[in-house]
Structure 1
């Protein structure tokens, strides 16, 4: 985890975040100076940001919106006060509405970002300055500390070349907390085709089969919020096992970038999970990220113990081999 320390100081009315990255200072600077890179980590998992304005000059403004998995929205703006490339910058950070107007009842704060060389990498120190103890406590109560830790944990993937970060590492499972798991897999192919492979029933039947010896017997895809999805599998030939399936509802669909659905096993009342699929392309390769929210730790552990990750790896390998390669990418 890049974040090494988060402290709050009631006397100085500050919150300070210290993070260390295995990348040169110029590379870390560029991640904060480019809105397309910022979007990949400015916001915790499940709340990706979209920057709609970014005037990276003193006196310039940036505006962003973070979208939650159930359609929630939280917007903010930066007013750039100082820019000292590549050593740091300072902004006024505000909570705003969709038109960029400051929200009443929410604090504005001055944030300073400082980058310094630390061995072979870079240390970042971010200090947020508040006008009152009430404003500091309000931001902390809103989950700023844990949200910052989880957001910064995504920066490692941004700072590295995507293939260097994920190629050859298969399906990776990270337990973010008691109820959230992040699953990542790099596949060689453009994002548009990977998206279509997730939403075209004919393509899904070719690869989303888990271990060999299974077939998909039903495939109903949700293409818009409110649509229902339903998939079923059954063993083939001498393969052992019982038929099973999942169903749920699409909550958010932003082709070809993001899709959020609920999911539960057919014939049961639950437990229900929230599945947040994100696709990011770089240089012809696509990083598939699936953030799963479980109702509790027991459900999380029970599902992970089924060997789910192994089945997903078999499916992703089939996606590359039988769908992406066959298409000529």
Structure 2
């Protein structure tokens, strides 16, 4: 992971994050100063950022919001103070409302980003300065250390092409914390087709099957927000096993890039998971990222022990083959 250290200093009133990258300083600078690239990592997993304003000049302003898996928006604003590209920039970081007005009851901090060359690429040193120990304590209590670490650890995937980042690696499962798992898979096909394949029953029945020997016997889907779905699978031929299914509800839908649904095993009292699907396209390939939120660590480990990743890889390989035939 890129982040090597995050420290807080109550005497200096600072929080400092350090990260190392296999990319030159100029590439790192571009990632932090190009809004469409910044959006891909600034929010922690499950809270992607959208920048609606970005004026990179002294006195200029940036506005953004992060959208939670359940659709809540958290707004922020930057005021750029000093810029010396590609080495450093400084900005005031404030909480804001949806109109961009600064919230006076939450701390404003001064962020200093320094980009340094290293023998293998570059180093980021991000020092955030606070006005008081109370402000520092409040921001840390809100999860700033964990959130900033997870956000910056996503930057590796931005600094290289999607194909370089993921092609040939198959389905990958990463543990983010005790209740969150991130699953990634590069699919060779355009984003619109990948989105359709996740939301049209006639396409879902062709690929969402897991290991060979199963068929989807029920596929009922209303992809609109508040809509319900129900999937069931049954063994075919000599395959052994019992029929099973999942049901849930669409919580958020932003076609063709993001869909959040609940998932519950039909006919059981198992708690539901929250599944946050994100799609990114580049050069004709789509990176699929699925963040799954489990109710607790025990449930997370139980599900992973079923061989979930292998089953998903079989489905995604089938999806890729289906898209190639379109």
The bucket for the TM-score relative to the shorter chain is: over 0.9
Q: Distance in 2 between matches of 1:53 and 1:188?
A: 32
SS at structure 1 position matched to 2:147: helix
The CA deviation string for residues 264-286 of structure 1, in whole angstroms up to 9 with x for no partner, is 10001222111000000111110
The SS at the match of 1:291 is strand
* Aligned counterparts of 1:222 and 1:316: Cα–Cα separation in 2: 22
For each residue in 1:165-190, what CA deviation from the matched residue of structure 2 results, as whole angstroms up to 9, or x when unmatched?
Answer: 10000000001111110000001111
**Aligned position for 1:276:** 276
SS of structure 2 residue aligned to 1:62: strand
| Structure 2 contact 21–120 (Cα < 8 Å) conserved | no
> Which residue of the partner structure matches residue 161 of structure 1?
161
Give how far 1:33 is off. Answer: 1.1
Distance 1:222 1:153, change over 3 A: farther
- Which residue matches 2:145? 145
d(CA) in 2 for partners of 1:153, 1:109: 22
Partners of 2:221 and 2:229 within 8 A in 1: yes
- In 1, are the aligned partners of 2:2 and 2:152 still within 8 Å (CA)? yes
Number of the residue aligned with 2:84: 84
3-state DSSP class of the match of 1:139? helix
Give me the whole-angstrom Cα distance separating, in 2, the residues matched to 1:6 and 1:162. 28
Tell me, yes or no, if the aligned pair for 2:278 and 2:288 is still in contact at 8 Å: yes
Give me the CA root mean square deviation: 0.8
1:93 aligns with 2:93: yes
> Partner of 1:325 in structure 2?
324
Does 2:2 correspond to 1:21? no
CA distance, structure 2, for counterparts of residue 275 and residue 45 of structure 1:
12
1:103-142 alignment runs, 5 A limit: 103-142=103-142
State the partner residue of 2:6. Answer: 6
Q: How big is the shift at 1:222? A: 3.4
CA distance in 1, matches of 2:184, 2:125: 28
Distance 2:55 2:180 in 1: 35
Q: Which residue of 1 aligns with 2:235?
A: 235
SS of 1:256's equivalent in the other structure is coil
Instruction: Give 1:229 shift.
Output: 1.1
Q: Secondary structure at the match of 1:5?
A: strand
Where does residue 68 of structure 1 map in the other structure?
68
Q: How does 1:190-229 map to 2 (within 5 A)?
A: 190-229=190-229
Q: Which residue of 2 aligns with 1:253?
A: 253
Q: Deviations over 1:234-288 (max 9, x none)?
A: 0111111110000011111110010011111000122211100000011111000
Task: Please give the alpha-carbon distance, in whole angstroms, between the structure 1 residues aligned to 2:291 and 2:118.
Answer: 32
TM-score, L = length of structure 2: 0.99
- Are 2:284 and 1:291 aligned? no
- Structure 1 portions without partners, runs of 5+: none
Structure 2: gaps spanning 5 or more residues:
none
Tell which deviates more after alignment, 219-228 or 61-70: 219-228
2:169, 2:28 → 1: CA distance? Answer: 24
1:63-99 CA-to-partner distances (Å, cap 9, x unmatched) read: 1100001122111011111111110111010100010
Question: The residue matched to 1:241 in structure 2 has which SS?
Answer: coil
Deviation at 1:161, TM superposition (A): 1.2
Q: Distance in 1 between matches of 2:209 and 2:303?
A: 17
Partner of 1:173: 173
Partner of 1:169: helix, strand, or coil?
A: coil
Deviations along 1:212-251, one digit per CA (max 9) or x if unpaired, are 1111011122312111111110011111111000001111
Q: What TM-score do the two structures reach when normalised by structure 1?
A: 0.98
Deviation at 1:127, TM superposition (A): 0.6
CA contact (8 A) 2:232 2:246 kept: yes
Give the C-alpha shift of residue 104 in structure 1: 2.9
Contact kept, 8 Å, 2:19 with 2:125, in 1: the verdict is yes
Q: Which residue of 1 aligns with 2:184?
A: 184
